[in-house]
Amino acid sequence: MSNQQRNMHLEAARYLLFLGDVTEPGYAKTAFGLRDWATDRCLGELRLEGATVSTGLSTLSPEEAAARGATALVIGVAAPGGGIPIHWVPALVAALEAGLDIVSGMHVSLSDIGALVVTAARTGGRLINVRIPPSDIPIASGLRRSGRRILTVGTDCALGKKYAALAISRGLQQRGIDAEFRATGQTGIMLSGSGIPIDAVVSDFVAGAAELLSPAANPDHIDVIEGQGSLFHPAYAGVSLGLLHGSQPDMFIVCHAPQRQHLLGFPTIPVPSLEAVIAQTTVLGRVTNPAIRCVGIALNTGGMSQEAADAEITALAARLPFPVSDPLRGGPSFERLLDACVA
């Protein structure tokens, strides 16, 4: 299946979300992203014993999901390393037996798991790997290209860069602005039906992939590019840097979870300050776009009361010379953030 065929199939799929036995909500961002941004296509969830994370959707067996119109089971978790634990395989086999395809955004290919290959061949089910980049990615040229670009960057992983980019692109479109969301991760690709899984690209070609993802456009067009990782992350900073250089963003928005004290999965490493992220992104971004500038802060205040979220937004807006908002809460602060994106 070509990437184009895969993307067309994903746009029409109806999902049963598989959560495995995950216990860390941050690792279930694919499931939550699909639930929140493709609600009408998500029919239920399937969890294994020991799971403590839930999307809140109905618990369904593969047979029940298929009877309700599901066409695929999507692996909705992305633990570090991107592997598929052996004890998940019986549930995936059961999904194929029920007539569902399997969709995975993991680094490990579904086709490398013998039991799945055998079952898919017998049932006619498809094994769809989303984390496969195009085969013809060039190295970066570093040349400036027309159009405008906004990149979401983060103080850490899995804290809202995709959500912010989706909300901002939608907000700009609602204002009549020619804007497009550019997906760089598996969930964004499942949602939009296009994109490049940046963290699956060989390192020499990451910046080239970012150039390919956001090509030259009309001067008034705005690409809102989904960020990955964090420049301060000990494991994923390389992906973030390549994406920054290839995107050549005119503007960037820093995404931050106020309640997070340390990097996800790295309890000894504190989350960097917003000021440090702004300074580092500006310095490194000037390599390919000397005019790069920060235009706002996007907070993930999930789990906070409205009063606590408002207080955090107000405090940061007083501390920093940029609009601060939680894009999912919307309101006047989000309108100010959109204003900054088109100023």
Which stretches of the chain are assigned E, i.e. beta strand? 15-20, 42-47, 72-75, 101-104, 127-129, 148-154, 179-182, 222-225, 251-256, 262-263, 266-270, 293-299, 324-325
∠ CA 253-259-264, rounded to 5°: 80
Architecture of the domain spanning 148-342? 3-Layer(aba) Sandwich (3.40)
Q: Which CATH class is domain 3-129?
A: alpha beta
Give 279's contacts (C-beta < 8 A, 6+ positions apart): none
Instruction: Give the pLDDT of the chain (343 residues) as one tens digit per residue.
Output: 666 666 667 777 899 999 999 998 888 989 999 999 999 999 999 999 999 999 999 999 999 999 999 999 999 997 666 689 999 999 999 999 999 999 999 988 999 999 999 999 999 999 999 999 999 999 999 999 999 999 999 999 989 999 999 999 999 999 999 999 999 999 999 999 899 999 999 999 999 999 999 999 999 999 999 999 999 999 999 999 999 999 999 999 999 999 999 998 899 999 999 999 999 999 999 999 999 999 999 999 999 999 999 999 999 999 999 999 999 999 999 999 999 999 9
Q: Read off φ and ψ for residue 145, nearest 5 degrees.
A: -135, 155
| Largest interatomic CA distance in the chain | 62
Name the token pair of 50: 């020991």
Nearest 10 degrees: Cα torsion 319, 322, 324, 327: -160
Write out the residue limits of the CATH 3.40.50.720 domain(s) in the chain. Answer: 3-129
For 266, residues 6+ apart whose C-beta sits below 8 A from its C-beta are: 233, 234
Please name which of 17, 69, 8 lies closest in space to residue 38, comparing C-alpha atoms: 17
Whose CA is closest to 82, among 53, 109, 61?
A: 109
Chain position carrying tokens 């894009």: 327
In the chain, CATH 3.40.50.300 covers: 148-342
Q: How far apart are CA 315 and CA 294, in angstroms?
A: 18
